[in-house]
Structure 1
Amino acid sequence: MSNKSAFVLVHGGLHGAWTWTDLTSLLAEVGFPSLAFDLPGAGSLTQFPRSFLKRPLDIEAFAKEVSPISGVTQDERTDAAVTAVNQAANLGNGKVILVGHSWGGLTISHVAEAIPEKLQSLVYLTALLIPNGLSGGEIFEHPSFDNSEVLPLFIGDSGEHGAAMRMDPRSEDPEYIRKLKDGFYHDVPQERVAAIANLLHCDEPADTATALIEITAEKFGSIERHYIRMADDRVLPPEAQDYMIERIDTSGIGGTTKVHNLSGGHSPMFANPRTLRDVLVKIAG
């Protein structure tokens, strides 16, 4: 057991616990325990539409087929993360730093409201930081997200196929794959990107986009929060990150978000994990 705080690492959309392999090793090098896990419906817990597995892809069938993970709820994801926090508390000094990347920001906000007493800090790693009363899907409607290179790659209508986002990471269309890779991983070595792309799943459950963020000053607002802002993010543009930070800080929820500015794109855990580790260690104190 370590005498340092433990990190719980929540992956983003279409990814899984494997996202954090490099970072967990680097944290261990300096004595920090960490726990990464697959959210329900993601990583090793996902399922694929039948049409996705047939190549060449029938894009019309894929756009309409109901997602086999359409029934997964945000509450299930929140519960899974709460369990991970409770487990991680036993790995270190009892204090837990909860990190959410990208779409994972939604889950860590729900967890913060559920068990604020268990958390030392919240860390939004170029993640969705949503004010009370809004949903992840609604925040994308703000003009600050207009320059996202990934949002236009979504396929079909969520109301029809039951996925918050549906993409084709195994597309045979070279232009689609180029845009996907440039959006998520433009500063990651290409040989690494080729391996990563084979691990992505295609759907995120619709409920994660429509579930309202319900947070209070007494709970969520009592926890120290940090935002790691990526200056060249092509998924969540810098202006979108700035908008979310300003919106939460002026919402009356309490506290001020501490911003850590890093160069680079949406996936620093692959592009520059050592620098990311150093920022997290600084946050841990």
Structure 2
Amino acid sequence: MSQRKGYVFIHGAWHNSETWRELKPYLEGAGHVFHAVDLPGAGSNAAQPKSLMRRPFDPEAFRTEPSPNADITQRMRTDAVIAAVRAMNSETGGKAILVGHSLGGLTVSQVAEEIPEEIGAAVYLTAMLLVNGMSARAMSKHVSMDEEMIPSVICASPRMVGALRLNTRSEDADYRALMQECFYGDVDVETFDRVTASLHCDEPAQVTGEPSTITRESFGRVPRHFIECLHDRAIPIDGQRHMIASVDAEMGSKTIVHSLATSHSPFVSSPDKLSEILIAISD
């Protein structure tokens, strides 16, 4: 068995630490240490607009109510994960493998830029891997993202409410089918209902507008891996590959790419195959 390694997992937008629970037995069974964070504004740290659970449901109130998560910043998220990395390194005596999904890639990059000597590898699971100065909001407008489905499930103006808002408690079958196709296209409805029951509805909008700040001298020193998901409808494969190529050109070094024939959420649909890749990265 290889030396014990520590993994710190960062969920994507609207998700939380429970996102990764199907992976945990695979990594711990291989002798590694597993920790998944709830970012500020997510999971146990998230607040919900009152209109989300009001019945009868008022679509207009939900469309206009200001988000209680609107003041969450990338700085807050970066600081939270730096603390988690340092706690993990203290426990294992090594360097944490940092894994981020989707929007969680923003935090992976910023942590790797700020404490490169404390990160064993930066792993992007169909995640935002952005060149210096680019924001997630700007990336979403790139031609390579034309097939992105996320705009079709947003329920309010981010500028008005301060968040990217999903109706995570929707009772509309057509809307829920869109959500499933976007994020969980290769699981059955029962699994989709189970894994989405804990999602928060408001992802702080200002995080998506903050530019990436990465440099060759810091971020560029950290080994980086990208796990591309070939059938992703939230971050299409063309967008994934555009980001990889752009960062590689800017950093003057190569991202190691791994492929899964899954939708946006392989931690649910293919945790066994995803864990094989993650364990191989640690070796």
TM-score range, shorter chain: over 0.9
Distance in structure 1 (CA, Å) of the matches to 2:69 and 2:277: 34
Shift of 1:279: 0.2
What's the counterpart of residue 267 of structure 1? Answer: 265
Distance in structure 2 (CA, Å) of the matches to 1:99 and 1:129: 12
What's the counterpart of residue 47 of structure 1? Answer: 47
Shift of 1:63: 1.4
Shift of 1:149: 2.0
Counterpart of 1:53 in structure 2: which amino acid? M
Does residue 277 in structure 1 map to residue 275 in structure 2? yes
| Residues 1-285 of structure 1 mapped to structure 2, 5 A cutoff | 3-163=3-163, 165-251=164-250, 253-285=251-283
Cα–Cα, structure 1 residues 145 and 57, in superposed 2: closer, same or farther, change >3 Å?
Answer: farther
Question: How big is each residue's C-alpha offset from its partner over 1:137-191, in whole Å with a ceiling of 9 and x where there is no partner?
Answer: 111000111112222211221111011x111021122111101012111112332
Say whether the 8 Å CA contact 1:230–1:266 is kept in structure 2. Answer: yes
Structure 2 unaligned segments of length 5 or more: list them.
none
Shift of 1:114: 1.0
Say whether the 8 Å CA contact 1:3–1:93 is kept in structure 2. Answer: no
Computed over aligned residues only, the root mean square deviation of the Cα atoms, in angstroms, reads 1.2
Shift of 1:194: 1.2
Counterpart of 2:115 in structure 1: which amino acid? I
Distance in structure 1 (CA, Å) of the matches to 2:142 and 2:226: 19
Distance in structure 2 (CA, Å) of the matches to 1:55 and 1:247: 47
Counterpart of 1:63 in structure 2: which amino acid? R
TM-score, structure 2 as length reference: 0.97
Shift of 1:27: 0.1
Say whether the 8 Å CA contact 1:3–1:92 is kept in structure 2. Answer: no
Distance in structure 2 (CA, Å) of the matches to 1:59 and 1:244: 36
Counterpart of 1:68 in structure 2: which amino acid? P
Say whether the 8 Å CA contact 2:227–2:260 is kept in structure 1. Answer: yes
Shift of 1:65: 1.0
Counterpart of 1:283 in structure 2: which amino acid? I
Percent identity for Structure 1 against Structure 2: 41
Counterpart of 1:249 in structure 2: which amino acid? D
Say whether the 8 Å CA contact 1:73–1:208 is kept in structure 2. Answer: yes
Shift of 1:94: 1.2
Counterpart of 2:187 in structure 1: which amino acid? V
Structure 1 unaligned segments of length 5 or more: list them.
none
Q: Secondary structure at the match of 1:89?
A: helix
How many residues are paired up?
Answer: 282
After TM superposition, the runs of 4+ consecutive aligned structure 1 residues lying more than 6 A away are none
Distance in structure 2 (CA, Å) of the matches to 1:219 and 1:24: 30
Q: Secondary structure at the match of 1:122?
A: strand
Say whether the 8 Å CA contact 1:168–1:202 is kept in structure 2. Answer: yes
Shift of 1:234: 1.2
Distance in structure 2 (CA, Å) of the matches to 1:271 and 1:5: 24
Shift of 1:91: 2.9
Distance in structure 1 (CA, Å) of the matches to 2:253 and 2:40: 31
Counterpart of 1:168 in structure 2: which amino acid? N
Say whether the 8 Å CA contact 2:53–2:169 is kept in structure 1. Answer: no
Shift of 1:68: 0.4
Shift of 1:86: 0.5
Shift of 1:59: 1.7
Counterpart of 1:143 in structure 2: which amino acid? V
Distance in structure 1 (CA, Å) of the matches to 2:238 and 2:278: 23
